[in-house]
């Protein structure tokens, strides 16, 4: 989504935008005080379009957002529009930032609703390296490919960190 702000009326748009922001010190979050999306991100209407407020803040202070890039929050606070807290990145950059900060909410291992193995079963599979894949697959009711992926630490990686 590329944001185009018309040059005519830009000052008015800019003034109207910043009146909806609780500006604090440069280091603090500047929270959006108007409407928000369900996930907490501010929403701003301009040129008959509703846009994410943090993206509008970026355009007003830094200019256009290059195609394919996101405006990410360094502060992890969705309603924040402080330009000092925003940075450009790809979806991959944003996911890496989330993971580095430990914000991934996806359950891993046996806590996942899709898990067919328990943590103890995975550890047992890794401990019996000599047993054939098919035999283990039959015992644990999974495919031989799953057993192979467990053995090669391609899945259930979180158990390596605990070991």
The pLDDT of residue 105 is above 80: no
If we measure between CA atoms, which residue out of 18, 33, 10 comes closest to residue 83?
18
The pair of three-digit structure tokens given for residue 137, joined into one six-digit string: 């697959």
* Strands 70-73 and 49-52, bridge-based pairing: unpaired
Q: Give the pLDDT band of residue 4 (cuts 50, 70, 90).
A: low
CA 57, CA 146: separation in Å to the nearest integer? 46
Q: What is the mean pLDDT of residues 92-103?
A: 85
C-alpha 30: how far from chain center: 20
Q: Is the pTM of this model over 0.75?
A: no
Q: What is the mean pLDDT of residues 60-81?
A: 93
CA 5, CA 120: separation in Å to the nearest integer? 56
Q: Give 74 or 8, the one with higher predicted confidence.
A: 74
E strand spans, 14-157: 21-22, 31-32, 43-46, 49-52, 70-73, 86-89
The pLDDT of residue 32 is above 90: yes
- CATH annotation of 10-100: 3.90.75
The pLDDT of residue 6 is above 80: no
Q: What is the mean pLDDT of residues 99-105?
A: 76
Q: Is there a contact between 107 and 143 (Cβ–Cβ < 8 Å)?
A: no
The pLDDT of residue 110 is above 90: no
User: For the chain, what are the domain ranges?
Assistant: 10-100, 109-162
């Amino acid at each position: 989504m590329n944001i185009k702000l018309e040059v005519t009326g830009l000052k008015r748009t800019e003034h109207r935008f910043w009146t909806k922001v609780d500006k604090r010190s440069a280091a603090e979050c500047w929270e959006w005080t108007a409407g928000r999306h369900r996930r907490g991100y501010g929403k701003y209407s301009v040129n008959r379009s509703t846009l994410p407020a943090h993206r509008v803040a970026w355009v007003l202070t830094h200019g256009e957002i290059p195609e394919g890039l996101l405006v990410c929050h360094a502060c992890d606070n969705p309603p924040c529009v402080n330009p000092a807290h925003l940075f450009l990145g790809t979806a991959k950059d944003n996911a890496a930032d989330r993971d580095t900060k430990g914000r991934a909410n996806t359950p891993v291992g046996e806590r996942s609703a899709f898990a067919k193995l328990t943590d103890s079963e995975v550890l047992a599979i890794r401990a019996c390296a000599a047993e054939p894949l098919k035999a283990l697959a039959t015992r644990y009711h999974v495919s031989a490919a799953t057993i192979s992926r467990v053995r090669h630490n391609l899945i259930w990686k979180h158990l390596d960190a605990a070991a």
